[in-house]
Amino acid sequence: MVIAAPSGGGKTAVRAKLLECDKRFRFSITCTTRPSRAGEADGRDYYFVTAARFSALRRNGKLLEWAKVHGNLYGTPISSVAKLLQKGFIPVMTIDVKGARSVKRIFPETVTVFLLPPDLSTLTARLKKRRESPENIRIRLRTARNEIKEAEFFDYLVINDLLGEAAAGIRKIADIECLKVSRRRAEIRKFSRELAKLRL
Ligand code: 5GP
């Protein structure tokens, strides 16, 4: 599952809430060339890599998608997603809007969720709370103007007003998606094989 939002949309907080309350989900860690911020840990929040390492990963086809966001490179390692899928978890990717569309293009079965704050004043207030400079806030709002146009290419829209409700919305989406016939072929095949064995 891919969760994207304009900057300040609350992806990280919603993800944390989701992982805390539903063990079906696991965070699929991405890699970045941006330096770590205070409180961030390598291998937990991101894989912090050098520009050289990033281009090697890209060249060797190890990234599902990659993007330049605010001057830094970010990419989704195929191995992160594959490992989680093998273990039966729902990988949660919190990536930018363009990255979300790339993942959907490569794997159309990926569920994409667009997170939106309840209104513009909430978005601005969240950016201010993060102590972004006025210039940065302007840049992010300008980016948001373009990002929101991409919302219509997503499968679901979740309004991030109260964290718990946003996480509950995403859990509901997973419940519904897990019931889709296209995701349950193995069960149908098993039943079908058993029926075929009957001497009728
Ligand atoms: P930040 O530097 O604030 O952690 O992240 C900046 C933006 O990059 C956020 O929108 C974040 O979701 C996005 N991002 C993080 N990892 C990836 C990735 O692997 N691919 C893409 N396309 N975007 C990413």
Domain hosting 88: range is: 2-197
Distance 95 CA to ligand 1 centre (A): 5
Pair 33, 51: CB distance under 8 Å: yes
**Which whole number is the average pLDDT over 16-43?**
96
Per the structure, the count of domains in the chain is 1
Q: What is the band of 130 on the pLDDT scale with cuts at 50, 70, 90? A: confident
Provide the percentage of residues in the chain whose pLDDT is more than 90.
88
Q: Of 115, 146, 100, 94, give the one whose Cα is nearest residue 9.
A: 115
pLDDT score at 152: 94
Q: State the residue for tokens 């911020």.
A: 37
Q: What is the band of 9 on the pLDDT scale with cuts at 50, 70, 90? A: confident
Q: In whole numbers, what is the pLDDT of the chain averaged over residues?
A: 95
Element (H, E) at 199: none
Distance 111 CA to ligand 1 centre (A): 18
The model's pLDDT over 148-159, given as tens digits with 9 standing for 90+, comes to 999 999 999 999
Q: Which of 15, 54, 95, 101 for mutating ligand 1's site (highest number of atoms within 8 Å of CB)? A: 95
Over 90: is that where the pLDDT of 117 sits? yes
> CA geometry: angle at 72 spanning 66 and 78, to 5°?
25
Pair 18, 1: CB distance under 8 Å: no
Over 90: is that where the pLDDT of 140 sits? no
Q: What is the band of 136 on the pLDDT scale with cuts at 50, 70, 90? A: confident
Distance 187 CA to ligand 1 centre (A): 36
Q: Of 93, 75, 95, give the one whose Cα is nearest residue 84.
A: 93
Which domain CATH number covers 66?
3.40.50.300
> Atom of ligand 1 at shortest distance to CA of 34?
2
pLDDT score at 129: 87
Q: What burial class does residue 152 get, using C-beta atoms within 10 Å of its C-beta: 0-12 exposed, 13-18 middle, 19+ buried?
A: exposed
**Which whole number is the average pLDDT over 40-66?**
97
Distance 172 CA to ligand 1 centre (A): 25
Q: Which of 3, 68, 96 for mutating ligand 1's site (highest number of atoms within 8 Å of CB)? A: 96
Q: What is the band of 6 on the pLDDT scale with cuts at 50, 70, 90? A: confident
> Atom of ligand 1 at shortest distance to CA of 7?
10
How would DSSP label each residue in 8-55? TS-HHHHHHHHHHH-TTEEE---EESSPPPTT--BTTTBEE--HHHHH
